[in-house]
Amino acid sequence: MTADPTAGKTFPLGPRLTPDGVNFSLYSDKSSTVELLFFDNADAAKPARVITLDPRKNRTHHYWHIFVPSIGSGQIYGYRIFGPHAPARGLHFDHEKVLLDPYARGIAIPVRYDRSAAYRPGDNTPVAMKSVVADLSAYDWEGDVPLRRPFAKTIIYEMHVGGFTKSPNSGVAPEKRGTFAGLVEKIPYLRDLGITAIELLPTYQFDPQDAPPGLLNYWGYSPISFFTPHRQYSSRQDLLGPLDEFRDMVKALHRAGIEVILDVVYNHTAEGDLNGPTFCYRGLANDTYYILEQDNAGYTNFSGCGNTLNANHAVVRRLILDSLRFWVSEMHVDGFRFDLASILSRDEDGNPLQNPPVVLSIDSDPVLAGTKLIAEAWDAAGLYQVGSFVGEFWQEWNGRFRDDVRSFFRGDSGTVPRIASRFFGSPDMYGHEERGPEQSINFVTCHDGFTLNDNVSYNQKHNEANRENNRDGCDANLSWNCGVEGPSDDPAVEGLRVRQIKNFLAATLLSVGTPMLLMGDEMRRTQLGNNNAYCHDSELNWMDWSLLDKHADIHRFVKLLIAQRQESDTARIDLGFSLNELIRHAEVQWHGVRLNRPDWSDHSHSIAFSVRSLMRSFTFHCMMNAYWEPLDFELPRNEAGTGWQRVMDTSLPSPDDIVPSGTATFIAGYAYTVQPRSVVMLFSRVREAPEPRHKKGRGPASPFFVASFFRFRFFKEASRPAGCLPLHRVFCRYGLP
């Protein structure tokens, strides 16, 4: 007996395009009937064709499938799912709602799209989002492949696709502002700044209407589809335009040597709580896709957004892995930052797992091998796993770096031991790991919270524009307004703010680990004290490109810091040093204002250290003064007697605040006055640097080499001069948390 060709196949899930038609496969375990709907356009009031799947031939176990001949790429479709509405059993079928295919590669959005129609009783066909069949095979990648740059050579720039170019002063053509194509036009700016990777806030389809009335969801942490580029970020209006425009962007960035990291949200969806809309997952298999309360009456809310994806259920785990593989294999992205990644560690009852299947599956997946994996290792319910996130290849947003750096430069007590740890890769947190310090993604600001300018301009959040009576957003910002709340014309206040901004940037870009900068911090972008500006698609969030000239001193400071950090890798190699040798033999010597007498006490606000290279050809000396008065620091006497050169002093006006190492100023004597709230970096070399082992004719390493190779756990104690102490002993002795 010949099999019915229209029966279809269970695999792969979603639409699979063939020369003869399309195979559709869908998971819905407790449904009784499935209808496949075809539409002529996104705004159609009713389907042009309805196919009712026969459970005898179109269902295998929990999967509904059918092959439909003579249709192809660009076909708009959706589903109606029939089944019991039984909240006590965790079932919320609603056959009046048009449902999206969770595996669709494209989404069509009607002009009159209405989120509320997806939770009100009744048919929502005319205003519902609909899925689109997409042919991915025709795109010409022109030999493009992911870049696979090591974390040790990575400078991350967290940014928003829309906000980067949406302002009229961006210089981007009006039709491309706020789009993937608009971002491409700004690639020269990113290259000039020295960025090697952009980390994009969510770029797959989210619901802009998931926001308070009259506002829009701007950040994008309201996912609808895990396989579809956000249509509003495309300058093209054709159904498959977002796919091609996203790939054009990736290809252009790769040609410029810049990696693409996506901020992905696998912890919740835009369907919200029980009062939310039914777009897809709730109407397909609610009790599979979500973690429910024990009585099934509602959703657990570990995400703080109304629901929590059941990430370690086999079906949801497959969805997540298939999504990640899609973005790597079909869209060529280089990595992912996982929003509220600790939720991925929870079981189906919400309890933390020691070896969460989805986390380990991502970690070991061969398609994802070599992909950057970054965890935001906490969730909204209090699970905090920074320093302990499971997996061999995961890096972590180091929230404690942010907090401790802010606390130190604010002048808080008891912060000196912690700033020492953060500066050298946080060994108190990662010392148990058999990995390098690049595991720590070091940042002081990100999209969630104050911008760098606002962190030095506001003591409290000012979120009134969010229409939640300033209740939303974090209250503990560890910020300091430098004496005046908000903008100030006082030169003393402004001078202090500039100094603090440079301190934060120096700490981020000189510390051991992988640095991350927030879009616009290099030109003092402000959100006017709003630390939760997720719902404002306006000038409040957009990059104001006029600030580039207004704060050219900050932009120059960042650019030179990045250049020094990047040059250190080349210089290290040219000198013939192996990374392992540098790790094992580099010496750190700790000081206070007096040599070899670091003050680790709670009332201390200053620290200094010297780091000498493997071949003792150069040394750099760093002094950090978070005190409110100037401090006179003694300087070590170098062996060659060549004296010290100043490469950075954040208290000095531009261009003396930072200079290339080849033009550094010599400092007379062996003492230096470090001004209040400032960081100083000095550099010393022998009169005749040793010849490179492999290459000749190149100069010595940059004084900023520590940021790219210094590691804590291999420090040797033998042959150390007086006062020289390995970091791991410092941390143990002084009881760092």
Report the 10 Å Cβ neighbour count for 273.
11
CATH class of 563-733: mainly beta
Q: Is the pLDDT of residue 532 over 50?
A: yes
Check whether the bond before 12 is cis (ω within 30° of 0).
yes
d(C-alpha 348, C-alpha 313), whole Å: 7
Check whether the bond before 110 is cis (ω within 30° of 0).
no
Distances (CA, A) of 539 to 166, 217, 508, 526: 9, 14, 27, 10
d(C-alpha 68, C-alpha 79), whole Å: 14
Distances (CA, A) of 179 to 114, 187, 203, 534: 23, 13, 10, 18
d(C-alpha 680, C-alpha 633), whole Å: 11
- What is the structure's pLDDT at 32? 98
- What is the structure's pLDDT at 618? 76
d(C-alpha 702, C-alpha 569), whole Å: 9
**Residue linked to tokens 């252009």:** 252
- What is the structure's pLDDT at 721? 34
Let me know if the fold of 155-551 is the same as that of 563-733: no
- What is the structure's pLDDT at 684? 87
In a 13 Å sphere around the CA of 627, the CA atoms on its Cβ side amount to 20
- What is the structure's pLDDT at 637? 87
In a 13 Å sphere around the CA of 585, the CA atoms on its Cβ side amount to 11
Q: What is the pLDDT of residues 637-666, one digit of tens each?
A: 876 667 899 999 999 999 999 998 788 989
Q: Is the pLDDT of residue 514 over 80?
A: yes
- What is the structure's pLDDT at 290? 98
pLDDT, greater one: 9 or 581: 9
- What is the structure's pLDDT at 616? 64
Mean pLDDT of 595-604: 97
% of the chain at pLDDT higher than 90: 82
DSSP states of 696-713: -S--PPPTTTHHHH--ST
- What is the structure's pLDDT at 695? 40
* Lowest mean per-residue pLDDT among 489-493, 494-498, 705-709: 705-709
Quote the DSSP letter at residue 414. Answer: T
d(C-alpha 244, C-alpha 229), whole Å: 10
Q: What is the pLDDT of residues 94-129, one digit of tens each?
A: 999 999 999 999 999 999 999 999 999 999 999 999
Write out the H or E segment, with its range, that includes residue 610: strand 606-612
- What is the structure's pLDDT at 615? 63
% of the chain at pLDDT higher than 70: 89
Q: Do 27 and 42 contact (CB within 8 A), yes or no?
A: no
Helices and strands of the chain, counted as H and E runs: 17, 27
Of the candidates 262, 283, 272, 256, the residue with the CA atom closest to the CA atom of residue 309: 272
Mean pLDDT of 199-205: 98
- What is the structure's pLDDT at 407? 98
d(C-alpha 393, C-alpha 433), whole Å: 11
pTM: 0.93
Mean pLDDT of 340-361: 96
CATH class of 155-551: alpha beta
| 580 — pLDDT class (breaks 50, 70, 90) | very low
* Measured torsion, CA atoms of residues 108, 113, 118, 119, in degrees rounded to the nearest 10: 160
Q: Is the pLDDT of residue 678 over 60?
A: yes
Mean pLDDT of 335-350: 96
- What is the structure's pLDDT at 165? 98
Q: What is the pLDDT of residues 203-239, one digit of tens each?
A: 999 999 999 999 999 999 999 999 999 999 999 989 9
pLDDT, greater one: 499 or 698: 499
Q: Is the pLDDT of residue 717 over 70?
A: no
Q: How far is CA 729 from the centre of its chain?
A: 32
| 557 — pLDDT class (breaks 50, 70, 90) | very high
Q: What is the pLDDT of residues 386-442, one digit of tens each?
A: 999 999 999 999 999 999 999 999 999 999 999 999 998 898 998 776 667 788 999
pLDDT, greater one: 431 or 708: 431
- What is the structure's pLDDT at 5? 80
* Lowest mean per-residue pLDDT among 330-339, 402-411, 631-640: 631-640
Work out whether strand 335-338 and strand 259-264 pair parallel, antiparallel, or are unpaired: parallel
- Annotated active-site residue in 245, 376, 454, 587: 376
Distances (CA, A) of 642 to 167, 589, 595, 704: 51, 19, 18, 19
**Residue linked to tokens 């006590």:** 88
Q: Is the pLDDT of residue 732 over 60?
A: no
| CATH architecture of the domain covering 5-132 | Sandwich (2.60)
- What is the structure's pLDDT at 576? 36
| 192 — pLDDT class (breaks 50, 70, 90) | very high
- What is the structure's pLDDT at 687? 55
Mean pLDDT of 537-557: 98
DSSP states of 538-582: STTTS--TTHHHHTHHHHHHHHHHHHHHHHHHHHHHHTT--HHHH
Q: What is the pLDDT of residues 33-67, one digit of tens each?
A: 999 999 999 999 999 999 999 999 999 999 999 99
Q: What are phi and psi of 446, to 5 degrees?
A: -150, -175
- Per DSSP, the three-state class of 139 is coil
| 568 — pLDDT class (breaks 50, 70, 90) | low
Q: What is the pLDDT of residues 274-284, one digit of tens each?
A: 999 999 999 99
Q: Is the pLDDT of residue 730 over 80?
A: no
Q: Is the pLDDT of residue 83 over 50?
A: yes
- Annotated active-site residue in 287, 339, 396, 438: 339
Q: Do 111 and 61 contact (CB within 8 A), yes or no?
A: no
Q: Is the pLDDT of residue 735 over 70?
A: no
- What is the structure's pLDDT at 579? 32
- What is the structure's pLDDT at 614? 63
Q: Is the pLDDT of residue 247 over 50?
A: yes
- Domain ranges in the chain are 5-132, 155-551, 563-733
Mean pLDDT of 271-275: 96
Of the candidates 528, 344, 376, 386, the residue with the CA atom closest to the CA atom of residue 446: 376
Q: Is 339 a catalytic residue?
A: yes
